[in-house]
Amino acid sequence: MDLDFNPEEQAFCEEVRQFLAAKLPADIRDRMRRGDHSHVREDIQQWQKILHAKGWGAPAWPAAFGGTGWSKTQQYIFENECALADAPAQLAFGIKMVAPVIMRYGSAEQQQYFLPRILAADDWWCQGYSEPGSGSDLASLKMKAERDRDHYVLNGQKVWNTLGQYADWIFCLVRTDASSKPQKGISFLLIDMRTPGITVRPTRLLDGTFEVNEIWFDNARVPAKNLIGEENQGWTYAKFLLGHERTNIAGIGASKRELRRLKQMATEIIKAGMPMLRDPVFSSRIAQVEIELRALEITNMRVIFAEAKQQAPGPEASMLKIRGTEILQRISELQVELLGAGALDSSGAEAVRATSTYLNLRKLSIFGGSNEIQRNIIAHMILGL
């Protein structure tokens, strides 16, 4: 497989780099470099509006819905260059998760209302999948949605909801038929977060931030017109969404950025009279993770080529999820190990960033379907176990 970009793709790389150099606000870039998420909503929305003004607001969307119409390779280049330039990641819950579901399964009315608002960053979306006792075993979810004429009445709880404290809308999997098999009685609803009966309770994480939430629904009434597709068919739509989520979780651009940072740190930190990048043991560990990242990139390109031929992600999506999260975690571990006792220095900006990142990234091997579950999926799809 030839992984070198052709002349047109190389020219596109340069175009993206020039755009990022000219249009990415310096204050946003600097906060991203410091790991400062104090303005996360403002930064992500401002960057999305800048991209939208350029016509680049939805790299993976078809042009018919206001997207770029880019090839899979162009999308890959764009995401990598944005990560390397320390641009904020686009809000995946809207752009990459619920929007493809609305495009594929939503009504014309839903498409006409929601998609332009997602593109213009007018609405902030979050995800309502996991519940207490229903994480990787998502089909066991219990949150009820009972039909009452032209509304659904919702009761239950969602957990590990990322950035829901900022959200205008949430897409939820709900139980609309408790009498059928678990996967058969689930529906997919779009819910206004301002609906009476919805309570958001932030959860403090290991790194001290409030990134995830519990969300409670107490007789919250949601218009039936906000149902995606058919009632009790939500499991089909959820699987479609999760295939895209697990591909995105590979995070190759982020790993490249953090590997570059690791190498720079190893150049600057002196131990035993020499830079750690020249230490044969530590440098070999850096080389090992770089090789693994390169192998992951090759696998990711294979998925890109398959999707370009209209083939849905198969076991490769789970492979990308597993290896991508493990590699990024390992890079963060090496950064903290490199700092040594200095990682505990709360007055050092690099130490705070590295330690906070290390703690935050522990979640990667759990969300989006735990890595243990992904290995089961691979065994089933490839080995038939």
Residue 104 belongs to a domain = no
- Among 186, 203, 232, identify where a domain stops: 232
> Tell me, what's the pLDDT at 115?
98
For residue 35, give its domain range: 7-90
Same domain, 69 and 142: no
Q: Is this structure's pTM higher than 0.95?
A: no
CATH number for the domain spanning 226: value is: 2.40.110.10
- Among 316, 293, 253, smallest CA distance to 82 is for 253
Same domain, 320 and 353: yes
Q: Which amino acid is at 108?
A: A
CATH number for the domain spanning 365: value is: 1.20.140.10
Residue 112 belongs to a domain = no
> Tell me, what's the pLDDT at 134?
86
CB-count exposure of residue 326 (10 Å: 0-12, 13-18, 19+): middle
CB atoms within 10 A of CB 170: 25
pLDDT in tens, the chain (385 residues): 456 788 999 999 999 999 999 999 999 999 999 988 889 999 999 999 999 999 999 999 999 999 999 998 899 999 999 999 999 999 999 999 999 999 999 999 999 999 999 999 999 999 999 999 887 788 899 999 999 999 999 999 999 999 999 999 999 999 999 888 888 999 999 999 999 999 999 999 888 889 999 999 999 999 999 999 999 999 999 988 876 655 556 789 999 999 999 999 999 999 889 999 999 999 999 999 999 999 999 888 877 777 666 655 567 778 888 999 999 999 999 999 999 988 888 778 888 899 999 998 988 888 777 888 888 888 888 887 6
Same domain, 130 and 210: yes
> Tell me, what's the pLDDT at 313?
59
Which stretches within the chain are classed as H helix? 7-23, 26-34, 40-54, 72-84, 92, 99-105, 108-119, 234-248, 252-268, 280-308, 315-339, 349-360, 371-378
Hey, is 271 helix, strand or coil?
strand
> Tell me, what's the pLDDT at 314?
67
Active-site annotation holder among 245, 258, 307, 350: 245
Residue 216 belongs to a domain = yes
- The partner residues of 270 in beta bridges, in order of sequence, read 275
> Tell me, what's the pLDDT at 264?
95
> Tell me, what's the pLDDT at 112?
97
Q: Cα dihedral angle (158, 161, 167, 171), rounded to 10 degrees?
A: -60
> Tell me, what's the pLDDT at 4?
73
Same domain, 253 and 158: no
- Among 19, 18, 36, smallest CA distance to 27 is for 36
> Tell me, what's the pLDDT at 3?
61
> What sign does the dihedral 339-344-348-352 (CA atoms) show?
positive
> Tell me, what's the pLDDT at 139?
85
Q: Is 337 a catalytic residue?
A: no
Same domain, 66 and 135: no
DSSP secondary structure string for all residues of 157-220: EEEEEETGGG-SEEEEEEES-SSS-GGGGEEEEEEETTSTTEEEEEE--TTS---EEEEEEEEE
Same domain, 80 and 135: no
Please say whether the beta carbons of 174 and 138 come within 8 A. Answer: no
Same domain, 361 and 297: yes
> Tell me, what's the pLDDT at 248?
59
Same domain, 340 and 307: yes
Same domain, 68 and 158: no
> Tell me, what's the pLDDT at 2?
55
- Among 204, 232, 260, identify where a domain stops: 232
